[in-house]
Amino acid sequence: MNRKTTLIIFTDLDGTLLNEADYAWTDATPALTALREHHIPLIFTTSKTRAEVERLQAAMDIRDPFICENGAAVFFPEGYRRFSIPHAVRQDRYRVLSRGVPYTELRRFVAEAGTRCGVLGFGDLSPQEIAGLTGLPLAEARLAKAREFSEPLIIENPEHVAAFRKMAQARGFSLVRGGRFHHLSGGGQDKGHAVRLTAEVFRGNLGRAPLTIGLGDSENDAPLLDAVDIPVIIPHAGDGGGIDGGFPSARRAAHPGSRGWNEAVLALLDEAGVFPVRGRGQDAGRRKWPHFLFDKEPL
């Protein structure tokens, strides 16, 4: 490979970059700083809403595209790296590629089918109730309720999950398990589709395919991990909802949440030769990635 290869990191948030219990991410500061300094795109790939992602990006000083609501839409900031983005729609300060089903359609289905299976969605709950369920501050619970393309569900009886999934599939929707909730969305969307779509935008503009890393901890992250070159599994801190298998070659972080995420990302960057080597032989144990070079400046 004669030209430099661009690395892109796609990451889940809850239970991955963010701790599951308290949503903290400060343990990941060293890796976040390294990515920013080396101009490596960090693309949030999450079930969270656009409003939630925007708040987190501002807090972490991230200005890259993001994928929200389990792959429903990819938001590229207007003018991002001067990219051409075919078929994107201008929305506010973004260019948007969307595969999502309008939220009103999902709510209509939940109202019809949910009563038969004892299912409640975020649309049935107040911000105060969402805050109580999630541990989010009230202001952030309001952002979590601002859905556009998907609906987090509370299914109290596990025996009802299969029946509700069957009804959802009959209507062209999909039901996946996340770290805390099940998520109802359009049948043609998932994180993997959105990751591939985003990578294709980079390839089309760079003239070469990027090398992709993906990090996740839950069942709804499986399509993300399947779509990247290097999948990394973050261990699940809670009971259930983790990734049971299917990725024998995946890296596995030693710790859950932001600590494990930080260690995994720094290790990968070190193996890729991002960090300067101090003295001969200090990189003897580093895994070599043939012909791999990072862009040192923004594109």
Q: In this predicted structure, what is the pLDDT of residue 241?
A: 60
The distance from CA 124 to its chain's CA centroid, rounded to whole angstroms, is 25
Q: Quick check: is 12 catalytic?
A: yes
Instruction: With beta carbons less than 8 A apart as the criterion, state whether 149 and 97 touch.
Output: no
Distances (CA, A) of 28 to 44, 106, 172, 216, 262: 14, 35, 38, 15, 5
| 7-99+190-271 placed in CATH 3.40.50.1000 | yes
Kindly give, in sequence order, each residue whose CB lies less than 8 Å from that of residue 165, ignoring residues fewer than 6 positions away: 175
Domain layout of the chain by residue ranges: 7-99+190-271, 103-186
The CA R_g of the chain, rounded to the nearest whole Å, is 19
Tell me what pLDDT residue 299 has.
36
Q: Do domains 7-99+190-271 and 103-186 have the same CATH topology?
A: no
Q: Give me the pLDDT at residue 281, please.
A: 43
Ranges under pLDDT 70 in the chain: 1-4, 238-241, 244, 277-299
| Given the residues 12, 14, 190, 221, the one annotated as active site | 12
Closest CA to 218 of 183, 249, 248: 183
**Sheet bearing 230-233, strands edge to edge:** 89-91, 94-98, 73-77, 66-68, 42-45, 7-11, 211-216, 230-233, 251-252
Enclosing H/E stretch for 143? helix 138-144
pLDDT confidence of residue 151: 97
CATH class as words, domain 103-186? alpha beta
CA–CA separation, 139 and 53 (whole Å):
14
Q: What is the pTM of this model?
A: 0.88
Q: What is the pLDDT of residue 1?
A: 32
